[in-house]
Structure 1
Amino acid sequence: MSLRPPAEDAQEARSSFFIGARSSDDSEERERHPLILQKANALASGNCLKEAIDLFSVAMRYGSVLPEQLGTLVDCVLRNFKTKAAGPDSPPGRGRHAEESRRGDDAFDCPNCRGFLGEPVTTGCGHSYCKRCLQRGLLAKCKLCGGAVGGEEKVNVVLCGLLEKWFPGELERSKTLCKVDELCRRRRYHEAVSLATDAIQSDPESAAGARLSRAEAYMALKLYRLALEDTEFNCSAEALFRKAMVLHEMGRVDESLQVFLHCLAVDKDFPGAKRRVEKILCDLLSPADENVKVGLRETAQNTSPHLRNKTPVTDAETQPPSPVQRQHLLRAASAHDHLESLEKRWESLERPGLSRTHSLRAHGSSCGEEGLKRVCSAPQLGDQDKGSLLKRKLSVSDSEQYVAASGSNKLKKQGIAKGSKQKAAKAKAPRSVPEDLLDPNDLECSLCMRLFYEPVTTPCGHTFCKKCLERCLDHTPQCPLCKESLKAYLACRNYMVTTVLDMLIKQYLSQAYAERTKTHLEEARELSDLTKNVPIFVCTMAYPTVPCPLHVFEPRYRLMIRRCMDTGTRQFGMCINDPQKGFVDYGCMLTIRSVHFLPDGRSVVDTIGGKRFRVVSRGMKDGYSIANIEYLGDTRVESSDELQRLQELHDAVYEQARVWFQNLKIHFHNQILQHFGPMPEREADIQATPNGPACCWWLLAVLPIDPRYQLCVLSMSSLKDRLVKIQQILTYLQSIPNH
């Protein structure tokens, strides 16, 4: 499949459609319905908004189109909206996120609504939001890192306790706001209005959330004017969304559509806004009769500079365009260079009084022309008019950056005044923790009874040190405090640090944090020493250069493997069991190549053998064995004659081993290949490494001999003695009939 630029796909889609549209057979069109949709999406992807609208409308004439199938069209509309609303002179990087990144954030503000972080809920990414934002579903992704927001997390117990102790008044107001939302959910709107009004009067400067909750209650009570007034006090995505909902409820669909688009321009991931735009577009594109389809085809034929000379689609295009279609055509053409010629062509034909209109001066326009008229979706307009007016409603070159509900100039002035007030409010000094209320005991882990180090909050709202929580989950997938199941949390293994708590500790308890960090680093340094207190996995025989896959399920070894990964050594010792000592005196170091964690906490660890060692002393740490060790290596042969004889012995043993392996039964042969891989190649320098040739260890691993005998060979420091032992084993196995 070849990849081409969207513009080529768009051009092909336009050409293919108008050639295929010559056919008058409706049954053929219905069969081509999926292809029409595909071409419409190609046009939208190529940013050909006008033609895409035409083609989506045609698709709806010959088959059903669901709102969710208009996602590409919505994206195209939004791109055009942002471009036109911003204007050509707008500096790059302007936007909500760029503005927010420049101002100093209060650690106790919600990253979404910028209100007080009352009843904080910590999401899986480690960032905390106010309970209201999550309960009302006001964000689909984390505003700070883009991580997924589940919405099922509970209030952060530690952080909520701290805020209640430090800022009791603000926390109480946050709880009141949640009560207002709860009253709305229970449809007790009059009580919600009363409670929200009290909250606004008690603290007007921090009442943005209360006003928006009251607007929702007003809308449910059909008090639309009051609802709109409550949405005008800030320009947040939530306020725009609420305003658009009110306008849509009032039947002012075209205004609601543009405000929904403004909401998406502020926050492209605002939940529900895109679905609303898709639904509105679907309704407006659905024609009431055949004349709408003909009108849309006329429009595409006449407005597109690339298609004016194409073969006519139907005989109806010879008819003069209706006044509604002329206005629609002007709006659709406002994004193109041939606007002036179209205005002159129909200026004398336009009839006044077609519908209620008012002019808007286009801001950010490079030509500075008078904005085109914007028709409101009044109740008296029929379905046929709605379909033909869609492209004009989406023309944003003539709209203010902030779309007015009524009276654009008035609202523009209000918006400037409100913006000044908001900047003044945001310029206030950030909150600081009262020193007399700062207690390090409030920030201690309930498991290790020390200051939090890398605090992690579970979905049930409890916080622990990351290492402490991992150790507990090694034993049981439940919260150590409330015993709530954490199986899903364990399966994700996404233990992200709670940023607010981590920041509070570093900022307000810097000395205690420095001491805690020092202790942590000392413990990590101790674990990184690969000669003292080396972790020992008591399980099976391991050999240098030979793979050793492991299935780790015991809690003590889960902890051990994790520590090896965290310290960066990725190594541990492997020994077989000894009834008296716990484990034998000789073993082999294993290096972790990869770890695959299973949902229940178990893991499959791929390791490969490294250095051999001898145990000097034994011990225990957190349930698993440790040892002080010294590494082993082969004694080098210096004499040339002796080295020559050693080389001949090696070659003889290698050839004998190759013959033995080739003569194995196919079943055993395949099993060895599957578990240990092929026999290593002959090495040019048999003394290149302290462990000698790899073929010796591969043979020792695959030969069917007692582990104690294997251990004896592993501990040898003479390559000659090791080759002799292997030769004896091979000779014995080859002497057995039918082996």
Structure 2
Amino acid sequence: MEANEQSAKVPEPDVKRARSSETLVEAVTAARTESDADEEEVDSCFECTLCLQLFLDAVTTPCGHSFCSTCLASALRRRSACPLCRRAMHTHAPPATVVLNDYIRKMYPKALEKRRNEQLQREESTADTPCTNDGPRTVGLFVMETVLPGQSLQLHIFEPRYRLLVRRALERDNKIGLAAASSHNGVYTHFCEANIVNSQMIPDGRYLIHLVGERPMRILSSSTDEAGYKVAEAELVEDGDEYDDVEQRVREKCSTLWQQMRTTHGDSLFFREFRDEIGGDIPLGSTELSWWACRCLSVLGFVDGDTKQQMLGSSMKHRYELVERLFWDVEARGGLERLVGSSSGVSMVAGGGGPRGGCALM
């Protein structure tokens, strides 16, 4: 009888296992001092590795990595794998991490409220400023050397503020501004808007990206994002449609230069890299030709930073006139044949110099 009574007994609940996430959080919260509560310095272990900010509506992947829900959703649109370990994921809606979210809500209420308000403002800003060619628009700036439209370059992004800039660009329209640093007011007035044509995120949060310059922009006003990178309200620099016969003269110069490059260097590695750097063979369009000539002379070392700024801020006619004057300078220094013959030592570096900020050219 006693044995039956013992077997019928229900074991007492395990208090530790039954403790709710709310009780656990309250116990931890009680240990905090009032000064800690006021400062709310967020521990890095509660920051998303994608946006480098406090978790917002954290979710956890099957492999055990946690991210903000919006950050993970954005990453999964590009690749169905965990952004950190690259393990394949068969669901794009992993469950919310209840204990972690409760902990953050109790431990960092002010920081969480600020984080949520910033996210709402960013979403509203994205909705209010669609990516169109008409009128001013907001562009995040990556400060490095001057880049020209059509120029191709690959960057290794490692600085946290620029990692966040790239992530936000990938979420929106793949566009960032490439601006040159100025000793007077931070950056020059004109910059090139570039398109991220390919990107890869390394498990530790760094990015490898392939960029192509698209169009010249003029800064109307600028500020600094709380993440640390510059943001500009900018407008497109219009080309205009009056460029008379200077285009034909420049086209003839470009054809001569291109033919001499082919004859001198053939299919060498230098020539292939040179062709990739300037965007391929001579284009047919007037606008494309003007930028192709600018890139060609820039890579060969005949365009300094100030001249690039003039190119970015000028009409097509003025740009052709600048290029024609540069060709005259080349001829005054011994002609195209001498330039082409000595060009194999030219370094294929965007803008004629190393980049600034948290990146490295690849």
1-structure distance, mates of 2:63, 2:262: 59
Query: Can you list the C-alpha shifts for 1:496-517, whole angstroms capped at 9, x where unaligned?
Result: 8651447998xxx9xxx99987
Secondary structure, in 3 states, of the residue corresponding to 1:680? coil
1:673 lines up with 2:270 in the alignment: no
SS of the equivalent of 1:576 reads: strand
Question: Cα gap change, 1:520/1:198 in structure 2, threshold over 3 Å: closer, same or farther?
Answer: farther
Measure the CA separation in 2 of the matches of 1:532 and 1:198: 76
The question of 1:202 aligning with 2:10 is answered yes
Alignment of 1:578 onto 2:170: no
Provide Cα deviations, 1:406-428, integer angstroms capped at 9, x if missing partner.
Answer: xxxxxxxxxxxxxxxxxxxxxxx
Secondary structure of the 2:153 match is coil
Aligned to 1:564: 169
Q: Is the 8 A contact 2:145 2:180 kept in 1?
A: yes
Deviation at 1:575, TM superposition (A): 1.1
Pick closer, same or farther for the CA change 1:606–1:732 going to 2, 3 Å: same
SS of the aligned residue for 1:608 comes to strand
Q: Distance in 2 between matches of 1:200 and 1:541?
A: 81
State whether residues 445 and 465 of structure 1, in contact with CA within 8 Å, keep that contact through their aligned partners in structure 2: no
SS, match of residue 542 in structure 1: coil
How big is each residue's C-alpha offset from its partner over 1:249-283, in whole Å with a ceiling of 9 and x where there is no partner?
xxxxxxxxxxxxxxxxxxxxxxxxxxxxxxxxxxx
Aligned-residue RMSD, C-alpha: 4.9
Aligned AA (1:492): R
Is the 1:700–1:710 Cα contact (8 Å) retained in structure 2?
Answer: no
Residues 1:679 and 1:660: Cα distance change in structure 2 (over 3 Å): same
1:651 counterpart residue number: 251
Any idea what SS the aligned residue of 2:256 has? helix
Q: C-alpha displacement at 1:713, in angstroms?
A: 3.8
Partner Cα separation in structure 2 for residue 733 and residue 602 of structure 1: 41
> Is residue 2:305 matched to residue 1:708?
yes
**Match in the other structure for 1:526:** 125
Letter in 2 for 1:589: E
**Local SS of the residue matching 1:551:** strand
Q: 1:465 to 1:541 in 2, by over 3 A?
A: same
Separation in structure 1 between the aligned mates of residue 68 and residue 7 of structure 2, nearest angstrom: 38
CA distance in 1, matches of 2:186, 2:8: 71
Provide Cα deviations, 1:369-405, integer angstroms capped at 9, x if missing partner: xxxxxxxxxxxxxxxxxxxxxxxxxxxxxxxxxxxxx
Q: CA deviation at 1:533?
A: 4.7
State the alpha-carbon separation in 2 of the partners of residues 634 and 489 from structure 1. Answer: 41
Within 5 Å, give how 1:250-649 maps onto structure 2.
453-457=56-60, 465=68, 490-492=84-86, 499-501=95-97, 520-526=119-125, 529=129, 531=136, 533-566=138-171, 568-621=172-225, 622-637=227-242, 643=244, 645-649=245-249
How far apart, in 1, do the equivalents of 2:6 and 2:63 lie? Answer: 32
From 304, 308, 325, give the equivalent of 1:728.
Answer: 325
- Kindly, what percent of the aligned residue pairs are identical? 22
* Residue 79 of structure 2: aligned partner: none
In structure 2, C-alpha distance between the alignment counterparts of 1:681 and 1:494, rounded to whole Å: 42
Counterparts of 1:698 and 1:199, CA distance in 2: 86
Which has more helix, going by share of residues?
1
Partners of 1:657 and 1:518 lie apart in 2 by 56
Change (3 A) 1:579 1:199: farther
Gap runs ≥5 in structure 1: 1-193, 207-432, 470-487
SS of the aligned residue for 1:202 comes to coil
Q: Is the 8 A contact 1:634 1:717 kept in 2?
A: yes
Report the TM-score, using the length of structure 2 for normalisation: 0.60
Q: CA shift at 1:591, angstroms?
A: 0.8
Q: 1:451 deviation in Å?
A: 9.8
* 8 Å CA contact retained: 1:586, 1:711: no
Cα deviation, residue 613, structure 1: 0.9
1:492 alignment partner, SS class: coil
Higher strand proportion, which one? 2
2:316 to 707, 719, 722: 719
Q: 1:669 to 1:627 in 2, by over 3 A?
A: same
Relative to the length of structure 1, the TM-score reads 0.32
Count of residue pairs the alignment pairs up: 280
Aligned counterpart, 1:36 = none
Q: Deviations over 1:541-600 (max 9, x none)?
A: 22222222212111111111011112x221110012212322211110011111122344
Secondary structure of residue in 2 paired with 1:596: strand
Distance 1:198 1:697 in 2: 91
**8 Å contact from structure 2 (residues 278, 296) kept in 1:** no
Partners of 2:250 and 2:206 in 1: how far apart?
Answer: 42
Using the TM superposition, give the Cα deviation of residue 463 of structure 1 relative to its aligned residue in structure 2, in angstroms.
Answer: 6.1
Gaps of 5+ in 2: 14-19, 30-39, 48-52, 73-81, 106-111, 343-362
Separation of aligned partners in 1, 2:276 and 2:235 = 33
CA contact (8 A) 1:491 1:600 kept: no
Q: Greater Rg, structure 1 or structure 2?
A: 1
1:662 aligns to what SS in structure 2?
A: helix
CA distance in 2, matches of 1:494, 1:613: 40
**Is the contact between residue 141 and residue 178 of structure 2 (CA under 8 Å) also seen in structure 1?**
yes
Q: In 1, Cα distance between the equivalents of 2:7 and 2:261?
A: 84
Q: How does 1:144-155 map to 2 (within 5 A)?
A: none
- Per-residue CA shift, 1:614-640, capped at 9, x if unaligned? 122222111212222222011222xxx
Are 2:142 and 2:178, in contact at CA under 8 Å, matched by a contact in 1? Answer: yes
1:547–1:676 contact (8 Å) kept in structure 2: yes
